[in-house]
Amino acid sequence: MLCEIFWAWNRGNSELGHRTMAFDHIDDARQIACPGFVQENGVVYVYEADGPRATQAKIPFSIARVFAVHTSITSARGHHAHRACRQFLVCLSGRCRVRFSDGANWRETTLSSSDVGLLIPAGIWTEQNYDAGSILLVMCDQPYDEDDYIRDFGNFLAFRDGGRGQP
């Protein structure tokens, strides 16, 4: 189920444009298997953008940014959505419970190994709860842009609504 919204984004001095956003439904957030190469001395996991030469975990976008979150204590993080950025999350160590919403529905999943990742489409609110010592690897299809973040759930609902009364 997709809904469309038109929005203007002022990016600095002179670049003002209109962009069509097709919002994904909560069910478009999904787990993707990331098979590893088992070797005598360990396992190698490969994460690559989907394409004609991709052979491993096929992330359905080109990767523009990668970062890792390492928690030293049990903690809650996230609590935001992205207007345009899609993300792929993999828990490299420990356990991370991810709760996500499209504004109308909530889902939750637990990531606890390198062999499965979670695709988070743009326009989906996420919250993560980390066990102490967890490491979450995040791959993004956009470079960092503070203007892409929606950090208030009420603003997120208004963004999803687009003035039509439904997410």
DSSP state of 167: -
Give the residues across from 107 on adjacent strands.
100
Structure tokens at 27: 């069910």
**What is the pLDDT averaged over residues 13-37?**
64
- Tens of pLDDT, residue by residue over 143-160, are 999 999 999 999 999 998
Q: Which CATH class is domain 25-161?
A: mainly beta
Residues 74, 115: Cα–Cα separation, whole Å: 23
Share of the chain above pLDDT 70, in %: 79
pLDDT of residue 89: 96
Give pLDDT, residue 54. 60
Tokens coding 130: 């980390």
- Indicate if the pLDDT at residue 23 is higher than 70: no
pLDDT at 10 (0 to 100): 27
Give the confidence band of 51 by pLDDT, cuts at 50, 70, 90. confident
C-alpha span between 100 and 160 (Å, rounded): 14
Residue 21 pLDDT grade (very low, low, confident, very high; cuts 50, 70, 90):
very low
User: For the segment 119-136, what is each residue's pLDDT rounded down to a tens digit?
Assistant: 999 999 999 999 999 999
Residue 63 banded pLDDT, cuts 50, 70, 90: very high
Task: Look up tokens 């298997």; give the residue.
Answer: 33
DSSP code per residue over 16-65: EEEEEEEEPPGGG-EEEE--EEEETTEEEE-EEE-STT--SEEESS---E
Q: Where are the domains of the chain?
A: 25-161
For residue 123, give both structure tokens.
């326009």
pTM over 0.85: no
| Predicted confidence band of residue 9 (pLDDT cuts 50, 70, 90) | very low
